[in-house]
């Protein structure tokens, strides 16, 4: 009988995995900035392209690293970039307008983040399967 995954102590991720997570977070920020520009420039196809790019990165990161952390890292980068872009500057300049496309991009991106983080594969313990009948 093997021990439960919950009973195992947490291990620090490898240096390569931490570098991959940092790279995914930076890529998420780039996709957030690019999506913010594209969604307003080519409405409505730009909005669809921006959301498809974000969703592809979120889900692809999860599958590339075979864990939910691979999906959450680009989400964090995307959220930070988009939140910083929504804030107005002291000069009164802002990137996001008050149009419906901006709200769909913000809310749709957040919904995609939750969906992709949920669909991403969870890390499985190493070793044989602990199922009945095996």
Alpha-carbon span 32 to 79, nearest angstrom: 7
In contact, 31 and 55? CB cutoff 8 Å? no
Alpha-carbon distance of 36 to 87, in angstroms, equals 13
Instruction: Specify the pTM.
Output: 0.79
Question: For residue 20, which of 54, 55, 66 has the smallest C-alpha distance?
Answer: 66
| Three-state secondary structure of 13-59 | CCHHHHHHHHHHHHHHHHHHHHHHHHHHHCCCHHHHHHHHHHHHHHH
Task: Report d(CA 105, CA 121) in Å as an integer.
Answer: 25
CA torsion, points 114, 119, 122, 128, in degrees to nearest 10? 170
Question: 10 Å Cβ neighbour count for 68?
Answer: 18
pLDDT tens digits for range 78-118: 999 999 888 777 776 666 666 788 889 999 999 999 999 88
Please report which confidence band the pLDDT of residue 42 belongs to, taking 50, 70 and 90 as the band edges. Answer: confident
For the residues 64-81, what does the mean pLDDT come to?
A: 93
The predicted structure's pLDDT at residue 1: 47
């Amino acid at each position: 009988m093997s021990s439960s995954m919950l009973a195992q102590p947490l291990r620090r991720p490898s240096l390569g995995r931490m570098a991959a997570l940092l790279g995914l977070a930076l890529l998420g920020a780039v996709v957030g900035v690019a999506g913010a520009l594209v969604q307003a420039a080519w409405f409505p196809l730009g909005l669809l392209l921006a959301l498809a790019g974000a969703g592809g990165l979120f889900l692809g990161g999860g599958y590339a690293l075979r864990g939910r952390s691979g999906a959450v890292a680009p989400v964090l980068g995307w959220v930070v970039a988009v939140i910083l872009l929504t804030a107005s500057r002291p000069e009164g300049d802002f990137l996001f307008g008050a149009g419906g496309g901006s709200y769909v991009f913000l809310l749709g991106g957040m919904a995609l983040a939750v969906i992709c983080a949920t669909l991403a594969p969870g890390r499985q313990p190493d070793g044989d399967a602990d199922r009945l009948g095996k």
